[in-house]
Structure 1
Amino acid sequence: MFSFLRSGLRPVGPVWQGASWMIALGVLAPIASLAWLALGADWAHWQDLLRYVLPDAAANTARLLAGVGLLVLIVGTGCAWLVTAHDFPGRRVLQWALLLPLAMPAYIVAFAYLDLLHPIGPVQGALRWLLGYDSPRQWRLPDLRSMGGAIFVLGFTLYPYVYMTARAMFMTQPAHLLEAARSLGETRWGAFRRVALPMARPALAVGLSLALLEALNDIGASEFLGVHTLTVSVYTTWITRSDLAGAAQIACSMLLAVVALVWLERQGRSRQRFGSAQRMRAMTPHRLRGGGALLALLACSLPVIIGFVAPAAYLAWESGKRFVQGSGVSEGLVSSLLNTLGLALGVTLLAVAAGLIVAWATRTGISTRAPSRWPAQLAALGYALPGTVLAIGLLTPALALDAGFARLFGIEGLPLMGQGIVLVAACVIRFLVMPVGGIEAGLARIPPTLEQASRLLGESRLGTLRRVHLPLLRPAMATSAMLVFVDAMKELPATLLLRPADFDTLATWLYAEAARGTYEEGAIAALCIVAVGLIPVMLLARTQPSVGAH
């Protein structure tokens, strides 16, 4: 009766393993399709791209990533150190408030600041009034539609990635190392620079790579602000010039940047090391007073104001004005909201189901033979792929399948593209890493003895999953589902390229309104996206540990 426990139980059967590999290969399919499409194009395409398109687009992308990387490192690391190693008025609120820009997609922040910082907008108008000028011809701020403007917007939107990883690392650093540096004559700044910062480099590399992957995926903010990046080039080459082969070739060149950023993240993780298991005393925050406390408060408040408070207040004001004027909500916006909810719900259900299959197939459980980790690792690649790259890679196989359906079943049109199935597939691939990681973590917390007891009572593997694991996995699955739902609502690049005709989401509606300059209508759509995006940020803030005051 107990022989299966002594000999080791295979974690899953071939059906689960096969399904997990099918999902993993589905993630790889867009990359293979993209390479085939790019390499199969005429060499003249490559010559034109190498001569006229790629040099400028690649240079702009490199400058944008360098600027954003420097800004998120300075802001994220500086704020993390201030709220971890120092105590000042407002610190407890700022510990979680610094996460709020995560609820603001970069294209919404760009949309808001284009109106706020317009030469005849409220900010420049107030500054001219204070300085005694009468018109924009006499004095105006630098144009936001520039490389500097794009770095400003993306930097203050993406710094929380570095802030989270840096703060977590600073909180775990043993206090005696910093105290030893201070006893040897180092100043507080010197102890931070020579002790705390080098120990935090692996965490900084992880946060930086995540921020840069998001910056590379951005299309809305870059296009709004007039920065012609590789991502924007893919979109314009496909949509404006109807050159699918050229778009595929540009997307392939983007993969080099993706590989470099993933390598940076892997290197950061590989350098993480832990010392003795003995619990070490954490640092005690140093109480700041007077001018130092005020400067720390201002330094940590400014990113929150720029990245969240100012654009959120603008969206609320513009939305309120529309309702006060009696304009209400247009039918198109209501339709976009319903489309967004339907798309996000479909993506969430499929992503969580696929994540459960992959996580269950790769769990160790009570097995003595570790299953292959490749499906889970391959499934995680989707998040690293920009939405434009996914869209180009999925287009060719989707059109081939549509043609096959037309021949076999006499279906007219494009059933996969026209019904949004390809768009849902792209979003599932992109966000699959969230449920896979969340459910794997949930499975790791379930004791193997529960599975053993279920099998001893005669329950099958599937019955054990249904009656033992699924009830215990509900919190992990609910959290993963919420994250996927919110990210699917905010997704812009893949939605722009793969949406069916006459199908708008809140993100594409906002994109179209911003392109036309009708900010009042777009503000309501943006406010809806931000309101939903606040939910996971608030939950994330609740899970963040706090450092006790001195």
Structure 2
Amino acid sequence: MTRQLPNVLFRWGVLSVLLVIIGCPIAFFIWGSFWTTAPGLGGTATLRGYQELFSPQVYSTLGNTVAVAVSGTAIALVLGVGGVVVTTKTDIVGRRLIAPAFLVQYFLPSYILALSWQFYAGPKGPVNQVLLALPMFDAPPVDIFSVWGIALVSGSHYAGIVYLLTKGAIESVPASLEEAAEISGAGLLMTLRKITLPLASPSLLIATVIVFTRLLQSFGTPLILGIRGGVFVLATQMYLALRGYPYDFTFAAALGMILLLIAVFGVAAQRRLSGAREKYETIAGQGNVTTAEYDLGRYGHVLSAVFLALIVFLYLLPVVTLVASSFQQTFLGFDLEHVEWTLENYLHFFVGSSAETFRLALKNTLLLSGVGGVVGMVLAALVSYIVIKTESVVGDVLDFLTFVPIVIPGLVLSTAYLWFFLNFNVFGLYGTIWLVMIAFTAKFIVYGVRASNSSFRSIGQELEDAANIAGAGLFGTFKRVFIPLLKPGLVSGYLLLFIDYMKSLSIPLLLGAGNAEVIQVLMWRRIANGNAEQSAAIATIIVALILVVYVGTYLLTDVAVTDI
């Protein structure tokens, strides 16, 4: 009992921490949707927020949300699955460039990609300028600030996660089946339709549910592209209800409950599909090769040209346009004759009037991403140990608690934190950078847990037993046994947390203010004030920071995000 007591206290202590940073704020949020004011400030119970959901404005917003989600999911699936097929089943030229393009696009913040498309396909962007040179157009034909523009940007962004989730399943389809179909006269498309995609359907369904759920709750891209075009989705309408005056917490919470229910549906559907996926197993002999390659002949050059063009026009040129715009006094696209190139947009933040504000925001961002990533991984490793190495109900509860926040919109989670800490300002956290760090940890801890889980499963129980026999306690075993063997999982999980902490906009937009402002919020304020060129400079700095940290960590540890 003397040896078991610390383990019991350890498990319940970790559970208590997660209940405070995840469970309590969500409970306050649900309560607030039925209250006339923010919880704790008086008021009475009400259904007003839910009654307002039946207004024509909300119907229009819900229609936009569904349209973006359906269209964006379709685009993500076509690009992602197409990329997997091209890179694993064909021998086209340039296929090695496709996977890095998908992954880099996914790791970049969605709001930065939206800003890049604003320059790239806006009225003065190169897309419309090229099309206007054709005689059939007398006005900019591409409206990137529409529902379909938001769907295109969002769908191409999430093609990366479709690629990651479906690549293993499509590669694992036995080559013997595909070769038999080819011998029988079936072409690539028929083989995909009759054999490959049906066998990979569990992974395809999981990818569809994840992308669709995320697009229903997307915030950054609709905020930057949608508001300018008068297109609102549930997340942006909720944000405006919280930022308008007077604040309408009740209506915002009712809108958030729609997103919360969608998140719960996403969790249930994903877990059900994941369970179904585990029931499928392909039986293959020793002579089975990993995958079949199709010789497309002359069509291979056409397919190669199409995919390389997609990579250039959908992924490369928008970012190039963003960087170019950051060096322009006023954005004029690539009209080189009239463009005024300048460093003023950067100097404004490094030595100009906004230098002090920028330095504080940059310091907060690096503190959140650097220190917060470490804190998140430490807590994630402790949770992972309980989930994998102990057989207890606490482990099941922790596994569920860490998974739920990732599918809860950041705007909902940050609003829950706002209300909870307004009423219980524990340790004076409200209005500080530490509250933002706690919210980030709650939101993204699942990545650290999943990264640690695979490493913990690979460590045999006999090593832990040997450490206990030698007199090492729980933390001694962690220090001398687990941490050295967990290095790949810990480092790759840390990279994911660092990138996501720097990518997130919705959480610091509500919780960060004054001395707690971060660089991504500073960028949004420049966009809101109509200074797109300065916001492009900040976006370029954020992209550079993410790439430097990722490449630097990889060079020092030889561990990449894909090692999870």
TM-score computed with the length of structure 1 as normaliser: 0.87
Q: Please say if residues 88 and 289 of structure 1, whose CA atoms lie closer than 8 Å, have aligned partners that are also in contact.
A: no
| Corresponding position: 1:236 with 2:240 | yes
- The 1:10/1:187 distance shift into structure 2, 3 A limit, reads farther
**Structure 2 vs 1, CA of residues 236 and 46 (structure 1 numbering), >3 Å: closer, same or farther?**
same
Q: CA RMSD in A?
A: 2.8
**Native 8 Å contact 2:34 2:49 kept in 1:** no
Give me the whole-angstrom Cα distance separating, in 2, the residues matched to 1:174 and 1:11. Answer: 50
Displacement of 1:67 after TM fit? Answer: 0.8
Map of 1:166-177 to 2, 5 A cutoff?
Answer: 166-177=166-177
| Cα distance, 1:321 vs structure 2 | 4.5
Is the contact made by 1:12 and 1:360 (CA closer than 8 Å) also made in structure 2?
Answer: no
* Corresponding residue to 2:269 among 261, 264, 269: 264
The corresponding residue for 1:14 is: 8
User: How many residues are treated as equivalent by the alignment?
Assistant: 521
Alignment of 1:98-177 (within 5 A): 98-129=102-133, 131=134, 138-177=138-177
In structure 2, the residue matched to 1:295 is: 302
- Following TM superposition, by how much is the alpha carbon of 1:196 offset from its aligned partner in structure 2, in angstroms? 0.6
CA distance in 2, matches of 1:24, 1:249: 25
Amino acid at match of 1:256: L
Residue 476 of structure 1: aligned partner? 489
Q: 1:51 & 1:95 partners in 2: Cα distance?
A: 44
Q: Work out the CA distance in 2 between the residues paired with 1:37 and 1:543.
A: 38
Question: 1:324 Cα shift?
Answer: 5.8
Query: Residues 258-293 of structure 1, C-alpha deviation per residue, up to 9 Å, x if partnerless?
Result: 122223322331221113475532223113333x12
- Structure 1 letter corresponding to 2:204: L
Matched residue type, 2:15: W
Aligned equivalent of 1:384, options 390, 407, 416? 407
Shift of 1:125: 2.4
Structure 2: how far apart are the matches of 1:503 and 1:536? 22
Q: Secondary structure at the match of 1:39?
A: coil
Aligned counterparts of 2:305 and 2:267: Cα–Cα separation in 1? 34
The AA in structure 2 aligned to 1:283 is: T
SS of the residue 1:13 aligns to? helix
What's the counterpart of residue 40 of structure 1?
35
Which letter maps to 1:259? Answer: V
Q: Is the 8 A contact 1:157 1:307 kept in 2?
A: no
- Partners of 1:175 and 1:281 within 8 A in 2: yes
Deviations 1:343-367 (A, max 9, x none): 22242132112112211222327x7
State the Cα distance separating 1:503 from its structure 2 match.
Answer: 4.1
Separation of aligned partners in 1, 2:166 and 2:302: 21
1:400 counterpart residue number? 423
**Aligned match of 2:363 in 331, 334, 338?**
338
Contact 1:237–1:244 (CA under 8 A) maintained in structure 2: yes
Task: Give the whole-Å Cα distance in 2 for the aligned partners of 1:109 and 1:80.
Answer: 22
1:495 paired residue among 508, 518, 543? 508
Tell me the distance in 1 between the aligned counterparts of 2:518 and 2:109.
14
For 2:448, the equivalent position in structure 1 comes to: 435
Alpha carbons of 1:10 and 1:73: their partners in 2 closer, same or farther (altered >3 Å)? farther
Q: Aligned with 2:55: secondary structure?
A: helix
Q: Mind listing any 5+ residue stretches in structure 2 that lack a counterpart?
A: 37-45, 330-339, 350-354
Which residue identity does 1:155 align to in structure 2? G
Q: Say whether 1:314 aligns with 2:287.
A: no
Per the alignment, in what secondary structure is the counterpart of residue 288 of structure 1? coil
Q: Deviations over 1:454-489 (max 9, x none)?
A: 222222222112221122223321221121111101
Call closer, same or farther: CA 1:92–1:117 in 2, change over 3 Å. closer
Structure 1 stretch 430-439 or stretch 214-223: which is displaced more?
214-223
Q: Give the structure 2 partner of residue 364 of structure 1.
A: 389
Equivalences for residues 186-335 of structure 1 within 5 A: 186-226=186-226, 227-241=231-245, 242-272=247-277, 273-276=280-283, 279=286, 280-290=288-298, 292-321=299-328, 325-327=342-344, 328-330=347-349, 331=355, 332-335=357-360
Checking the alignment, whether the CA contact within 8 Å between 1:102 and 1:158 is kept in structure 2 is: yes
Is the CA contact 2:267–2:404 (under 8 Å) kept in the aligned structure 1? no
Letter in 1 for 2:9: V
- Give the letter for the 2:132 counterpart: R
Instruction: Find the partner of 1:352 among 377, 385, 402.
Output: 377
Distance 2:399 2:53 in 1: 35
Alpha-carbon spacing, 1:182–1:285, altered in 2? closer, same or farther (3 Å): closer
**1:7-33 Cα distance to aligned partner (Å, 9 max, x none):** xx9697112111221133232222211
Distance 1:502 1:143, change over 3 A: farther
- Trace 1:50-69 onto structure 2 (pairs within 5 A): 50-69=54-73
Superposed, 1:440-519 pairs within 5 Å as: 440-501=453-514, 503-519=516-532
Distance 1:502 1:95, change over 3 A: closer
SS at 2:430 equivalent: helix
Indicate yes or no: 2:182 matched with 1:182. yes
**For residues 415-434 of structure 1, what are the structure 2 equivalents within 5 Å?**
415-434=428-447
CA deviations over 1:40-85 (Å, ceiling 9, x no partner): 3422332223224432222221111111111111111112112111
Answer yes or no: is the 8 Å Cα contact 2:364–2:433 preserved in 1: no
Change (3 A) 1:185 1:474: closer
Higher RCO by CA contacts (8 Å cutoff, separation 6 or greater): 1
Cα-to-partner distance string for 1:143-200 (whole Å, 9 max, x where unaligned): 2111011111101111111112222211111012222333444332111101111111
- The 2-side partners of 1:389 and 1:446 are apart by 37
The alpha-carbon distance between structure 1 residues 126 and 470, as it changes in their structure 2 partners (threshold 3 A), is same
Q: Which runs of 5+ in 1 are unaligned?
A: 406-414, 546-550
- Confirm or deny: 8 A CA contact 1:105 1:157 kept in the other structure: no
Report the Cα distance in structure 1 between the residues aligned to 2:562 and 2:297, rounded to whole angstroms: 26
Q: Secondary structure at the match of 1:372?
A: helix
